Amino acid sequence: MRDERDHDSNSMVRPSQSVLPHADPNMYLSIYLVLAIRLADTARILGVCPIPSYSHFVLSNRIFKELARRGHDVTVISAYSNDAPMDNFREVLVTDALDKMKGLIAYSILSRYNAVDFLAVAKTFYDQSDSNIISKVMWMDKITVEMSEFGLNNSNVTKFLREHGHFDVVITHQLKTDSYYGFCHHFKAPCIALSPMSSITWISGSIGNPAPPSFVPQLVLGYTSVMNVWQRVHNTVIYAVVHLSYYLYSYPNHQDLLQKYFPGAPPLRELYYNISLVLFNGHMSIGDVAPLLPNAIDIAGYHVYPPKALPEDLRHFLDSARDGVIYFSMGSNLKGADFSKEKKDAVLTAFSKLNHTVLWKWENGTIPGQPKNVLVRPWFPQQDILAHPNVVLVVTHGGLLSTIESVYHGKPLLGLPVFADQGLNMAMAQEAGYGRYIQFQDLNVENFGSELREMLYNPSYGRVAKMRSKIMHDQPLSPLEKSMYWIEYVLRHKGAPHLKSSAMTLNWYQYLLWDGIFVGLGALLLVVVLIRMLSKVFWGLGDISMKKKRD
């Protein structure tokens, strides 16, 4: 809105004065048409992302802020507040529930792993025994159901649902939070799902997108698409476990949440059919390739922004690193205080033997015994640092955002995966040839030093990383522009029902062709029975004929 001074100054313009005294009337018509088209293209958009994870907030917020920048009227349900508000960008904050959700996660981790620190979690999370994997799948389903309710059971959300009546599209951040599709039903709007990962099973199934276990790995296993026969069998078994856990636990619980917070909503299965589009945070440049339907779009890299100028001291530090820079960050979950003395000493000893300069994101001040070639700070502008040409290696926890940013800038990766999808991301990097990894709980001075030397002095990793970067950049639209195009495509085509697969109209046994298999088996059984009956008839006739001849 204009302030009073603007209003007063404009009111002083006399009728004889004209801002454009000699303007062509056709120009006014052109301006009017442009404004009319712009207003017609402007949509009311609701974003739903009350997830208690800052990295997930970063992903969804990039989309929502860009939509607002393009002129759309955007409202976002979020656990975090924006630091740069806009007139056409409003927030429904669930920050009062954020601590509850964090407490839930901490309690769930404590109950599941008998510890709250991520080192203990890592040791148990990467226990690949089948009993542990099954309980891990069930634990993940349980925590996401409970987390979903914290996002719904909030006074700000309840008030928002009462007071707002129309949106043109709803974009919901999908992390096994199926009950959030109730917002799409409540506002009678087309639904777009924003996935923080690549084409994982639980989201693919909701739009009928195929995810064959023969080459699409399950998140909890850490396999790549290249599996031997035993791994394919193992992957198929866990695929079945994931689906059973979903249908026996997640689906009914999300159905209960749906009826509790969106009374009168249809069954979830019907809401799945309302999903117009899924935006996946994946791309072929990162690793595995999976089949995608027309309404499943890969947009990995959309959160990456053009590099900004580094602070002067950091720029000088990187510019003067003649032997190259290693950037080391374990993300936001694993803090410096979580490092045991043995692992901290192993890392410091390995770094001290290198001529390279090291930037280490370390939250606890200086490190006792810190080598001269290591600079520690509680925070670094990671994307801007990765854009610097002197960075030759990224040591990371293997989070998807860090992996994408490294590939985007053509930097090889040495992973120390701890939790969730990090092992899978690093396995794909190793399979593709731009990275290697050590499980964090196995880290010691010998294997860390050996992997550092392999990555630094074998040029193949850098070459593959640069090649993968070219693949990521070689697209007709940037990932962010691609996401905008497809969101606005759904708006232009009123939900784009023509993109939806007929697979969504099939029951599970029809989708898996079990009915066809039973028909085939029934037909085969009928043929066998007929053959046996005819055989008996012919044998009987033959016996009669032989008997007559003997008589």
pTM of structure: 0.84
Q: Given pLDDT bands bounded at 50, 70 and 90, which one contains residue 98?
A: low
| pLDDT recorded at residue 56 | 86
Report domain extents, the chain: 44-302+479-505, 312-473
Amino acid found at 50: P
Measure the CA–CA gap between 119 and 343, rounded to whole angstroms. Answer: 11
Measure the CA–CA gap between 264 and 510, rounded to whole angstroms. Answer: 28
Multiple choice CATH, 312-473, 3.40.50.2000, 3.40.50.720, 3.40.50.300, 1.10.1060.10: 3.40.50.2000
| pLDDT recorded at residue 337 | 72
Measure the CA–CA gap between 385 and 518, rounded to whole angstroms. Answer: 59
Measure the CA–CA gap between 455 and 434, rounded to whole angstroms. Answer: 9
pLDDT tens digits along 400-445: 999 999 999 999 999 999 877 888 899 999 999 999 999 888 899 9
What order do you get walking across the sheet with 296-298 strand by strand? Answer: 89-93, 73-78, 44-49, 169-173, 191-195, 275-280, 296-298
**Angle (deg, nearest 10), helices 229-245 and 130-152:** 40
pLDDT tens digits along 243-265: 898 889 999 999 999 999 999 99
Question: Mind giving me the DSSP string for 486-535?
Answer: HHHHHHHTTT-GGGS-GGGGS-HHHHTTHHHHHHHHHHHHHHHHHHHHHH
CB atoms closer than 10 angstroms to residue 517? 11
pLDDT tens digits along 339-348: 888 889 999 9
Strand residues in 262-319 grouped as ranges (E): 275-280, 296-298
Do the beta carbons of residue 348 and residue 366 sit within 8 Å? no
Handedness of CA 250, 117, 50, 407 (dihedral sign): negative
Q: Using alpha carbons only, what angle is made at residue 325 by residues 322 and 331, rounded to the nearest 5 degrees?
A: 170
312-473 and 44-302+479-505 share a CATH fold = yes
Question: Dihedral, CA atoms, 362, 107, 425, 302, nearest 10 degrees?
Answer: -80
Domain 44-302+479-505 has CATH 3.40.50.2000: yes
